[in-house]
Structure formats: structure tokens, C-alpha cells
Amino acid sequence: MIKVPTNLGKTVSSLLELAYLDWQQEKRPNWLEALPFYGQHPVAY
């Protein structure tokens, strides 16, 4: 477990630092985890 300062993640550079820490631990999430979810598909069939 990595302990990080309270305000880490509030800026772009902090978010990149968090991503780099995950990358160093070989955490490779699926790209679908990064997509926003709006509740329904925008195209109705």
C-alpha cells in the first residue's frame, strides 16, 4: 500500500504521478474502466 498526501490528485501533475505509481506496480486497468458512463446508450434502436 502506498500512502499519499491528502491533496494529491487535485492537479494534472498529481494525477499523472498517481498513474505512474500504478504503472510501476504493473497495474494495467482495462480501458473501459476509464470511460464515462452516462446511464444509457445515446442511440435508440
Segment 4-43, tens digit of pLDDT = 777 766 777 888 888 899 899 998 878 777 777 676 666 6
Residue 41, pLDDT score: 64
CB of 41 closer than 8 Å to CB of 31: no
Residue 25, pLDDT score: 93
Residue 18, pLDDT score: 85
The pLDDT of residue 44 is above 80: no
Q: Which of 1, 6, 4, 8 is nearest to 27 (CA)?
A: 1
Residue 12, pLDDT score: 76
Confidence (pTM): 0.47
| 31: helix, strand or coil | helix
Cell 464515462 locates to 36
